[in-house]
């Protein structure tokens, strides 16, 4: 979100001059995900967990133990190629992947498919991307981004996580705890009521 410029970006006054190098130095990855609900399983192992294949469209799949659901995941160049496409096109590409991976007939998948959902994080207005990553030579940028501005503005999110944790949910959670500790250390929470303190921690 911080990399987004123009009328759809977040505007800071005064500008975050001291953060510009970190914002520009970190990059954002693309992900397209598809979730398929079937009437029954057609894959050979009921709860196979994760499957990683050498497929040009959706190389990663996982099963949901709660029912006959498959989730397909495409990242990087694959996601960038799929991103401009419609739901129907992405669904068709996902089905082609399943045909190749599981060696199953198209008609069988069509007969069993109940519903489908897709999500493209690149075109999600609330995220503008799926996860951050650190380019070569930019290893210090997450730490730079995580530092408060004048003990007034505090940063959290997986892009500010410790080395090795960027792009992960646990990195995002850990960064939130770190930001709360920074706020407490700054004294910004002094004098708050218990209810307001709980809201600030959340």
Instruction: State the pLDDT confidence band at 46, using cuts at 50, 70 and 90.
Output: confident
- The pLDDT tens digits of the residues spanning 58-105 come to 999 999 988 999 999 999 999 999 999 999 999 999 999 999 999 999
Query: How far, rounded to the nearest angstrom, does the alpha carbon of residue 97 sit from its chain's CA centroid?
Result: 22
- Residue 70 or residue 11, greater confidence: 70
Report pLDDT for 202. 44
Report pLDDT for 94. 97
Tell me how far apart the alpha carbons of residues 94 and 86 are, in angstroms, rounded to a whole number: 12
Among residues 120, 113, 135, which one has the least CA distance to residue 21? 135
Tell me how far apart the alpha carbons of residues 40 and 119 are, in angstroms, rounded to a whole number: 23
Query: How large is the average pLDDT for residues 37-42?
Result: 95
Report pLDDT for 194. 47
Q: Which domains does the chain have, with CATH numbers?
A: 6-26+134-201 (no CATH), 28-123 (3.90.660.10)
pTM over 0.85: no
Instruction: State the pLDDT confidence band at 11, using cuts at 50, 70 and 90.
Output: confident
Is residue 201 over pLDDT 70?
no
Report pLDDT for 37. 97
Q: Residue 55 CB: number of other CB atoms within 10 A?
A: 20
């Amino acid at each position: 979100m911080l990399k987004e410029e123009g009328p759809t970006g977040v505007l800071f006054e005064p500008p975050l001059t001291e953060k510009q190098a970190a914002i520009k130095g970190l990059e954002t990855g693309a992900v397209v995900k598809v979730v398929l609900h079937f009437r029954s399983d057609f894959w050979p192992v009921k709860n196979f967990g994760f499957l990683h294949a050498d497929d040009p469209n959706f190389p990663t799949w996982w099963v949901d133990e709660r029912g006959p659901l498959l989730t397909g995941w495409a990242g990087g160049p694959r996601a960038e190629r799929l991103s401009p496409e419609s739901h129907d096109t992405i669904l068709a590409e996902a089905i082609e992947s399943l045909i190749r991976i599981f060696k199953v007939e198209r008609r069988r998948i069509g007969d069993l498919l109940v519903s489908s959902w897709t999500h493209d994080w690149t075109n999600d207005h609330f995220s503008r991307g799926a996860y951050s990553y650190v380019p070569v030579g930019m290893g210090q940028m997450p730490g730079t981004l995580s530092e408060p501005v004048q003990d007034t503005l505090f940063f959290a999110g997986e892009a500010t996580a410790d080395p090795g944790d960027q792009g992960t949910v646990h990195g995002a959670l850990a960064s939130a705890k770190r930001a709360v500790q920074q706020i407490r250390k700054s004294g910004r929470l002094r004098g708050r009521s218990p209810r307001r303190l709980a809201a600030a921690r959340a």
